[in-house]
């Protein structure tokens, strides 16, 4: 081992928790969850910059920990949201799900602090496996299927990453997690594709809105935080300034909001807005300036808070009503004032309203695009912001808590710990929005950006007010109807039936046919062996008298024939 002894990688705490928690008595498990995530948070905060920890394994050096400012931003927020998620899910009595969530949080921390590509890759795969369980743990048939699709897609992404890492190491001899340039041959593009898949960059994004709405209520909270943001971290670290990321990022922001306008399931709407919000971070990585990279990291930090809170709010609605579609919800505000209020804090945050944390981070990326000389990108990012307020800030809450009643009744009150978890995250959304320097001072580069200027405030308030006006005018059009919303997962879901026919049903039919044929042939052969004559004539049981006369006649005929033949030869 090299590096500072006595320094433990933050990932170790949740991993230890995942092993120990299922062994504890039931009533201590949720508390243990909080303790282990809090330990990870303490480690992420306490380990000094520049610290590293490496172990030698078969002549190869695994860098399990490499601490610097960028890794710390992500490490802190990952550990915090794992803790908040644990509070929100404190009532859970499902050790497997709790262990999977700890494993998931640990692997996200592992990715962030990994100093070499091989270590990163290992955590990357654990990330996929642990999160798959959070989909399966819902124990519905559609969750089982969606979980398999999710796993397949992520194993494919992990495969691309592995291939890229091997090619890259073969070419350069380096396993370091460091900046790559586009001229690195197919290796770097394979690594980029593998990472982009986890960042849900179209066209390899459809796994996200497919699986997240089908995950467990608490599982989706963790999923909204870890997978995509761990990928964003790698994009900032390894691919800063790749212009393709600017293009894809801006595209993502719009793509997500368009689909969210149509979506009916509340967690599907939120899922599309993960894609949209991650687009800002991808675009920031693509811009590559110090301000843009700061903005990207800051927005990831803000996003994890408000997006977890949004999923917590949606989860509380599902928990209390048993329904998840806007077309089956409505008029719940009177009975769910606290859930509604906490949800709206997150909704204002994601919409970038002043005094909420989205305002201080999203605008950094937008301003960075403007400053770097991409006004078109800047305007498209603002347009996506309009769409965000439209769907998450207006459509979703209006048709859930107001709007026409559809018979949804909030049953039991949500567990108190759910509201406590939401309250904690909401406090940070508002806290960082009101005091941006708390966030700015932990960013990787010095910040000169000032969000609270007259022009920026005026601009934001105009946008929000007039988006609201448009929503109010056309809210009847926006009313969701039950439907299946197609996305690019069509390409592997729809042909599934076709491929099943060709590769499963058709061979099965051929096997069945040959099977029946063989059995029939053998039956025939057996019957023939037992009774050839009966088998040919189709007659019943064999009787020696039945053919006596015919046989006599035939023998006489043959005998006569031979006599005639013999006489003919003699004469």
47, 64, 314, 382: which one binds other proteins (CB under 8 A): 382
By CB under 8 A, the count of residues binding other proteins is 37
3-state secondary structure of 61: strand
The least CB distance from residue 278 to other proteins, in Å, is 19
The least CB distance from residue 455 to other proteins, in Å, is 8
Nearer to other proteins by Cβ, of 146 and 447: the residue is 146
Structural contact between residues 259 and 209, judged by C-beta atoms closer than 8 angstroms: yes
3-state secondary structure of 56: strand
3-state secondary structure of 2: strand
Nearer to other proteins by Cβ, of 159 and 482: the residue is 482
Interaction of residue 479 with other proteins, rule CB under 8 A: no
The least CB distance from residue 388 to other proteins, in Å, is 10
For residue 156, count other CB atoms closer than 10 A to its CB.
15
Q: Is the dihedral of CA 371, 372, 375, 377 positive or negative?
A: negative
Residues numbered 245-264 forming contacts with other proteins, rule: CB under 8 A: 257-259, 261-262
Token pair in block for residue 66: 């490499």
| HEC sequence for 109-124 | HHHHHCCEHHHHHHHH
- The span of 101-109, 241-249, 468-476, 559-567 binding other proteins (CB under 8 A) equals 468-476
Angle separating helix axes 217-238 and 186-198, nearest 10 degrees? 150
129, 163, 251, 383: which one binds other proteins (CB under 8 A): 383
- The span of 24-32, 306-314, 454-462, 530-538 binding other proteins (CB under 8 A) equals 454-462
- Residue 82 CB contacts under 8 Å (≥ 6 apart), including other chains: 14, 37, 40, 101, 102, 105, 222, 225
Nearer to other proteins by Cβ, of 33 and 255: the residue is 255
For residue 530, count other CB atoms closer than 10 A to its CB.
10
60, 474, 511, 542: which one binds other proteins (CB under 8 A): 474
Nearer to other proteins by Cβ, of 94 and 370: the residue is 370
- The span of 83-91, 179-187, 212-220, 470-478 binding other proteins (CB under 8 A) equals 470-478
Nearer to other proteins by Cβ, of 477 and 567: the residue is 477
Q: Residue 3 belongs to what H/E stretch?
A: strand 2-3
The least CB distance from residue 487 to other proteins, in Å, is 8
Alpha-carbon distance 238 to 373, whole Å?
23
Structural Rg of the chain based on CA atoms? 33
Alpha-carbon distance 488 to 57, whole Å?
41
Interaction of residue 486 with other proteins, rule CB under 8 A: yes
For residue 442, count other CB atoms closer than 10 A to its CB.
17
The least CB distance from residue 462 to other proteins, in Å, is 4
Interaction of residue 478 with other proteins, rule CB under 8 A: yes
Interaction of residue 152 with other proteins, rule CB under 8 A: no
Token pair in block for residue 299: 């927005």
- The span of 79-87, 188-196, 473-481, 508-516 binding other proteins (CB under 8 A) equals 473-481
Interaction of residue 488 with other proteins, rule CB under 8 A: no
- The span of 342-350, 428-436, 494-502, 533-541 binding other proteins (CB under 8 A) equals 494-502
The least CB distance from residue 464 to other proteins, in Å, is 7
Interaction of residue 141 with other proteins, rule CB under 8 A: no
Q: How far is CA 395 from CA 107, 260, 325, in A?
A: 35, 10, 12
Of 292, 164, 342, 313, nearest to 224 by C-alpha is 313
- The span of 114-122, 217-225, 404-412, 472-480 binding other proteins (CB under 8 A) equals 472-480
Q: How far is CA 344 from the centre of its chain?
A: 24
Of 42, 109, 43, 107, nearest to 75 by C-alpha is 109
540: region left, alpha or beta (phi > 0 left; psi from -120 to 50 alpha): beta
485, 531, 534, 535: which one binds other proteins (CB under 8 A): 485
Nearer to other proteins by Cβ, of 472 and 542: the residue is 472
Which pairing describes strands 2-3 and 52-57: parallel, antiparallel, or unpaired?
antiparallel
The least CB distance from residue 134 to other proteins, in Å, is 22
Nearer to other proteins by Cβ, of 41 and 464: the residue is 464
Contacts with other proteins, residue ranges (CB under 8 A): 257-259, 261-262, 375, 379, 382-383, 386-387, 390, 458-460, 462-467, 469-471, 474, 477-478, 482-487, 493-494, 496-497
């Amino acid at each position: 081992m090299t590096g500072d002894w006595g320094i433990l990688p933050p990932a170790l705490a949740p991993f230890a928790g995942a092993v120990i928690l299922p062994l504890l008595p039931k009533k201590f498990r949720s508390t243990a969850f909080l303790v282990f995530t809090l330990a990870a948070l303490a480690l992420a905060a306490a380990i000094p910059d520049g610290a590293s920890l490496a172990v030698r394994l078969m002549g190869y050096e695994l860098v399990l920990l490499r601490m610097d400012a960028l890794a710390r931003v992500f490490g802190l927020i990952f550990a915090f949201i794992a803790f908040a998620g644990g509070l929100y899910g404190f009532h859970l009595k499902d050790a497997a799900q709790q262990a999977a969530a700890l494993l998931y949080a640990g692997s996200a921390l592992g990715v962030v602090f990994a100093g070499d590509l091989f270590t990163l890759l290992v955590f990357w795969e654990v990330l996929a496996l642990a999160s798959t369980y959070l989909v399966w743990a819902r124990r519905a048939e559609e969750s089982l299927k969606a979980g398999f699709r999710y796993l397949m897609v992520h194993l494919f992404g992990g495969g691309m990453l592995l291939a890229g890492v091997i090619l890259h190491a073969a070419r350069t001899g380096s396993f370091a997690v460091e900046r790559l340039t586009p001229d690195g041959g197919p290796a770097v593009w394979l690594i980029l594709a593998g990472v982009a898949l986890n960042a849900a960059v179209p066209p390899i994004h459809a796994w996200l809105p497919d699986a997240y709405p089908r995950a467990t209520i608490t599982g989706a909270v963790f999923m909204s935080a870890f997978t995509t943001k761990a990928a964003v971290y790698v994009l900032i670290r390894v691919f800063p300034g790749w212009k393709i990321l600017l293009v894809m990022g801006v595209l993502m922001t719009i793509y997500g909001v368009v689909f969210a306008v149509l979506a009916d399931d509340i967690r599907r709407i939120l899922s599309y807005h993960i894609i949209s919000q991650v687009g800002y971070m991808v675009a920031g990585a693509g811009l590559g300036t110090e301000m843009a990279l700061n903005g990207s990291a800051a927005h990831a930090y803000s996003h994890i808070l408000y997006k977890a809170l949004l999923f917590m709010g949606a989860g509380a609605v599902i928990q209390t009503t048993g329904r998840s579609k806007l077309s089956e919800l409505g008029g719940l505000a009177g009975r769910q004032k606290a859930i509604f209020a906490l949800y709206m804090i997150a909704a204002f945050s994601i919409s970038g309203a002043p005094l909420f944390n989205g305002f201080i981070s999203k605008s950094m990326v937008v301003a960075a695009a403007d400053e770097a000389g991409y006004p078109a990108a800047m305007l498209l990012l603002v347009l996506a912001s309009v769409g965000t307020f439209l769907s998450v800030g207006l459509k979703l809450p209006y048709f859930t808590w107001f709007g026409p009643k559809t018979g949804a009744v909030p049953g039991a009150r949500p567990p108190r710990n759910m509201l406590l978890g939401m309250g904690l995250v909401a406090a940070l959304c508002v806290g960082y929005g009101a005091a941006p320097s708390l966030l700015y001072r932990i960013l990787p580069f010095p910040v000169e950006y000032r969000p609270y200027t007259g022009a920026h405030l005026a601009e934001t308030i105009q946008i929000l007010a007039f988006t609201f006006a448009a929503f109010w005018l056309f809210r009847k059009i926006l009313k969701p109807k039950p439907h299946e919303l197609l996305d690019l997962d069509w390409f592997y879901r729809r042909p599934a039936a076709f491929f099943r026919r060709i590769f499963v049903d058709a061979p099965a039919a051929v096997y069945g046919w040959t099977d029946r044929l063989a059995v029939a042939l053998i039956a025939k052969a057996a019957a023939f062996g037992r009774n050839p004559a009966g088998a040919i004539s189709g007659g019943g049981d064999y009787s020696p008298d039945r053919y006596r006369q015919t046989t006599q006649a035939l023998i006489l005929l043959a005998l006569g024939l031979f006599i005639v033949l013999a006489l003919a030869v003699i004469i």
